[in-house]
Amino acid sequence: MSMTKEHIKMAFATMSQSRTRSFMTMLGIIISVAAVITIVGLGHGLRNQVSGQIGKLGSNLILVQPGQTATSSVDLTSLQSLASQRGTLTEQDYTSITKLPGIKQISPVATISGLPRFENKTMERASIVGSNDKLPDIIGKEIEYGSFFGPNDTNKNHAVIGRGVASELFGENVPIGKSFSIRNSEFIVTGVFTQSPVTPLSPSINFNNAIVIPYNKAKEIGGASLQFIQILVVAESAETSQALANNIQNTIKANHGGQQDFSVLQQEEALAISDGVFSQLTMFITGAAIIALIVGGIGVMNIMFASVSERTREIGIRKAVGATNKQIINQFMTEAIIITFSGGILGILLASVTILTIRVTTSLQPAFVLPIMALALAVTTAIGLASGILPALKAAKKDPIESLR
User: Per-residue confidence of the chain (405 residues) as pLDDT tens digits?
Assistant: 444 666 566 656 666 666 676 777 778 788 888 888 888 888 778 777 666 666 566 568 888 888 876 544 333 333 344 434 456 888 899 999 999 998 999 999 999 988 999 988 999 888 999 999 999 888 888 899 999 998 888 889 999 999 999 999 999 989 999 999 999 899 999 999 998 765 444 445 788 899 999 999 999 998 877 889 889 998 888 788 888 989 999 999 999 888 888 888 876 666 665 566 666 666 776 677 677 777 777 777 777 777 666 666 666 666 666 667 677 777 777 777 888 888 889 989 999 999 999 888 877 778 888 888 888 888 888 877 777 777 767 666 665 555 455
Residue 384's alpha-carbon distances to 33, 316, 376, in angstroms, are: 13, 24, 12
Task: Domain ranges for the chain, please list them.
Answer: 2-51+284-404, 89-260
- Which helix H or strand E contains 74, and what residues bound it? none
Percent of the chain with pLDDT over 90: 26
Give me the pLDDT at residue 72, please.
40
Query: Sign (positive/negative) of CA torsion 334, 339, 340, 344?
Result: positive
Indicate the helix (H) or strand (E) that contains 30.
helix 19-56
pLDDT at 299: 73
pLDDT of residue 273: 59
Can you give the pLDDT at residue 396?
62
* 151-156: long-range pairs with CB below 8 Å, 24+: 153/214, 154/214, 154/215, 154/216, 154/217, 155/214, 155/216, 155/217, 156/214, 156/217
From the number of C-beta atoms within 10 Å of its C-beta (0-12, 13-18, 19+), residue 305 rates as: middle
Residue 30's nearest CA partner among 286, 348, 288 is 348
Predicted pLDDT of residue 166: 93
As a whole number of angstroms, the distance between CA 244 and CA 228 comes to: 20
What share of residues in the chain are helix, strand, coil (percent, to 5)? Answer: 55, 15, 25
Largest CA distance in the chain: 99
